[in-house]
Chains A and B, each alone.
Chain A
Amino acid sequence: MMICNYPGMKVKPGSMGKPFPGLTGAILDPKTYEPVEEEGSIGLIAFRPGWPAMMRTYWNNEEAYKEKFKNGWYITGDRSSIDKDGYYWFVGRDDDVINTGGHLVSPFEVESALLEHEAVAESAVVSKPDEINMEVVKAFITLNKGYEPNDDLELKIMNFIRKRLSPLAMPQEIEYVDSLPKTRSGKIMRRLLHAQEWGEEIGDVSTLEDD
């Protein structure tokens, strides 16, 4: 636990909180690995090495361990922004963030907004290849009881996201599914859906829940 809401601190719902006292955290530019000072801009969550309980290596994989350090920072693999009060707002895992025509879209944010639509029970958002924008947003959803999957609903949900978030975040395609692939602990395996969209190897599925 490195970023949290510790006692005495005002909780901002939806935010991760702040780095625990004693830790030096920052948001880094993904290209230069320099801290981003601009409030609200999205970057890599990083920490200055040397915190208590810091791991010393990856077992039998020193190389992979070393890869985690850039420009004197430990790169966590998560992305967020920081608000004016120093609170971190989670955006997604590094490899989840969708780059659509040069704009970064957080799948997590789109998924959360989708759940606010009355018809949507569960959602998973990934990128899909696009000739013009490199990547565009695609959503997989399961519907609540009483809703029928059809084009009319798809358009309604698309417009709902467009107005709630932005045109960039609007899924360019919505696929209705009966269920989403999940791990046994209940996390949605976005990676599988991503691989399916990009025609990639699905990889390790040993944590996939049994039917």
Chain B
Amino acid sequence: MDDMHKIVLDYVIEEYLEDEDEEITVDTPLISGGIVDSFSMVSLKRFLEKKYDLSIPDEDATPEAFDTVNSICNLVNEFIEKKKGK
């Protein structure tokens, strides 16, 4: 697990997980699994944008893209690459 996966996973555990004993991995469904709801996605997106100095347009911040820590990191990496390319 690289740094980004760990940071995002820790943040989700810290901020969104209600049951402390529940264990989640980078593949646990967050949105479809009911851990993060669509309203809460906004604060998760804000966290990522701040942490990685990005701007993720709303149309890319889909529930599918935010469903697991893995997919979130893919999305963030995609935007980091885009930023580098500019």
Task: Give B29 Cβ to nearest chain A Cβ, in Å.
Answer: 17
Q: Does B50 contact A (CB under 8 A)?
A: yes
Chain A interface size band reads 10 to 19
Q: State in angstroms the CA–CA spacing of A65 and B46 once bound together.
A: 47
Q: Of the 9-residue stretches A4-12, A71-79, A85-93, A149-157, which lies at the interface with chain B?
A: A149-157
Q: State in angstroms the CA–CA spacing of A167 and B37 once bound together.
A: 8
Q: Does A99 contact B (CB under 8 A)?
A: no
Q: State in angstroms the CA–CA spacing of A159 and B45 once bound together.
A: 12
- Secondary structure class of chain B's binding surface, majority of residues: helix
Q: Does B15 contact A (CB under 8 A)?
A: yes
Q: Does A162 contact B (CB under 8 A)?
A: yes
Chain B residue contacts of A172, Cβ below 8 A: 39, 42
Q: Which residue of B lies closest to A173 (CB)?
A: B42
Q: Is the pair B40, A154 in contact by a Cβ cutoff of 8 Å? A: no
Q: Is the pair B50, A168 in contact by a Cβ cutoff of 8 Å? A: no
Within 8 A of B (CB), among A100-117: 100-101
Q: Does B52 contact A (CB under 8 A)?
A: no
Q: Is the pair B50, A155 in contact by a Cβ cutoff of 8 Å? A: yes
Over the window 8-24 of chain A, the binary record of Cβ atoms lying under 8 Å from chain B Cβ atoms (1 yes, 0 no) is 00000000000000000
Interface centre among B15, B39, B40, B42 (most CB of A within 10 A): B39
Q: Does A158 contact B (CB under 8 A)?
A: yes
Over the window 2-39 of chain B, the binary record of Cβ atoms lying under 8 Å from chain A Cβ atoms (1 yes, 0 no) is 00000000000001000000000000000000000101
22 contacts between A and B (CB under 8 A): A100-B39, A101-B39, A155-B43, A155-B46, A155-B47, A155-B50, A158-B42, A158-B43, A159-B15, A159-B43, A162-B39, A162-B40, A166-B39, A167-B37, A167-B40, A168-B39, A170-B39, A170-B40, A170-B42, A170-B43, A172-B39, A172-B42
Query: Which 7 residue pairs across A and B have the least CB separation, nearest first?
Result: A167-B39, A167-B40, A158-B43, A151-B50, A172-B42, A167-B37, A155-B46
